[in-house]
Amino acid sequence: MSQKNYDFGLVGLGVMGRNFILNVADNNFSAFGHDLDEEKVNSLIQEGGDTSRVYASTDAKTFVNALSSPRKIMLLVPAGKVVDIVIEGLLPMLDKGDIIIDGGNSFYTDTDRREAYLKEKGIHFFGSGVSGGAKGARKGPSIMPGGDREAYKEVKPIFEAVSAKFKGEPCVAYLGNKSAGNYVKMVHNGIEYGMMQLTSEIYDLLKKAGGLSNEELHNVYTEWNNGRLQSFLVQITSEIFAQKDDKTDGMLVDKILDKAKQKGTGKWTSQNAMDLGIPVPTIDIAVSMREISALKEERIQADALYGRPTPAPIDKNELIKMAEEALYFAFINAYAQGLAQLTDASKEYNYELDLSVIAKIWRAGCIIRAELLEDISKAYVANKDLKNLLLSPLFVDKVQSTVPSARALVSYAAKSGIPVPGLSNSLTYFDAYTSSRLPLNLIQAQRDHFGSHTYERIDMEGIFHTEWE
């Protein structure tokens, strides 16, 4: 290695990091990697081929000295203390004006803390969400940077080159102040949790009530992916049903244990929404269902104790039609909830988010990419102050035409003992949000009755309390 002016540095050469740095090199920027694992370093050098374009080292000093000024260093390491440890290790070797980018799923308050800390030392720092998994990192992810605007300008040409493209437009944009990038990625992941839960519930209904084989499920999801449900998650679901098991006979999906793990971003979305007072019930229940799935032994015991109704006979084609409409309805609600959270968070944390731009950079590369996002972006272009997607004229007909199937399917599932909490929570959210009158007047009366918490009236201004008999 003779070159001393590599354009871009990356710490953390796991699958995501290695693929991202190779993507950078493919787009005519030289890149230098760093990892303490010598095997990962050698693997990158070998795969990169041209050492003037891609190189790596286990030595931090060699890594830092190889980068052109201002140094642009991206971290793709596990969120939490590891990020702070890496930063502290690099700091003594950096110069004022150098840039550190956290590309992991860091909690947004950690990003704010790190930005303030490094600013005092003359180092630029910003968080940047990266979505698309390992394949996305290699071929083009959706990238969500926020924070130091001037620092982002230095990295912008690289990020625009490596990002996914939708009709030629890069799926990356500066999103806003402070931890905006990490926050948007967190909510992206929350929406992802909801959409994955909804997709799995529809699969369960089609299999248990409709008796669809894996081949039929593959064909149904493939057809859906060619229509208005076109999305990455529907696409890969169709592919999953066609995957044979390489260890035994049969299809792989039937051999996978029904215990879903999680890394925490969905939970963070749900917790923060509660802090902000924003309802995201589809995301909430998606997190809870992963927790319920972990109780496998208890579920087996409970299943033996309680009877379950036999699903009533239903026409297979009618079920498939209702399922498509219900899933479309629920997807809209999942996006609506997440985007409403972003709208409120933008005001609360002074992010200055543009929801139309966020929807645009989600159209390709990321896990929740879908045809719907084109219309979602248009909805926020038409009204930048739109408080909820359900209030957009562009979505009224879409929802009105599909909500009857959601109602019918939730009812059928309940009578059949098939759990569809994501779908039912989406329907409940819709019904509550579109109700001008809710029974919460009774709750306020109860609170005042037992705790003198007061209430407001519909017929006069003021705060009231009653001495209840």
Residues annotated in the binding site for substrate, as ranges? 105, 131-133, 188-189, 193, 263, 290, 447, 453
CA-closest candidate to residue 428, choices 407, 442, 412: 407
The C-alpha atoms of residue 109 and residue 413 are separated, in whole angstroms, by 40
Residue 449 near residue 468, CB atoms below 8 Å: yes
Structure tokens belonging to residue 321: 């039609």
Integer angstrom CA distances of residue 196 from 7, 79, 107, 109, 413 = 38, 23, 22, 26, 18
Residue 99 near residue 70, CB atoms below 8 Å: yes
* Stretch (H or E) spanning 102: strand 99-102
The C-alpha atoms of residue 80 and residue 366 are separated, in whole angstroms, by 23
Q: Which of 40, 72, 185, 207 is catalytic?
A: 185
> Which single residue is written with the structure tokens 């890594």?
63
3-state DSSP assignment of residue 67? strand
Residue 131 near residue 365, CB atoms below 8 Å: yes
Residue 34 near residue 9, CB atoms below 8 Å: yes
Return the number of other C-beta atoms located less than 10 Å from residue 404's C-beta. 13
Burial class (CB in 10 A: 0-12, 13-18, 19+), 400: exposed
Burial class (CB in 10 A: 0-12, 13-18, 19+), 175: buried
Active site residue 185: yes
Residue 49 Ramachandran class (φ > 0 left, ψ -120 to 50 alpha, else beta): left
Q: Which of 192, 201, 324, 325 is catalytic?
A: 192
**Bridge-partner residues for 366, per DSSP?**
none
The amino acid that residue 312 corresponds to is: A
Measure the CA angle with vertex 78, ends 76 and 84; round to 5°.
90
Residue 393 sits at φ, ψ, to 5 deg, of: -55, -25
Residue 70: cis peptide before it, omega within 30 degrees of 0: yes
| Those residues with Cβ within 8 angstroms of residue 426's Cβ, 6 or more apart along the chain or in another chain | 198, 281, 282, 329, 330, 333, 334, 406
Binding-site positions read 105, 131-133, 188-189, 193, 263, 290, 447, 453
Structure tokens belonging to residue 466: 């009653």
Q: How many residues does the chain have?
A: 469
The amino acid that residue 238 corresponds to is: S
Residues designated as active site = 185, 192
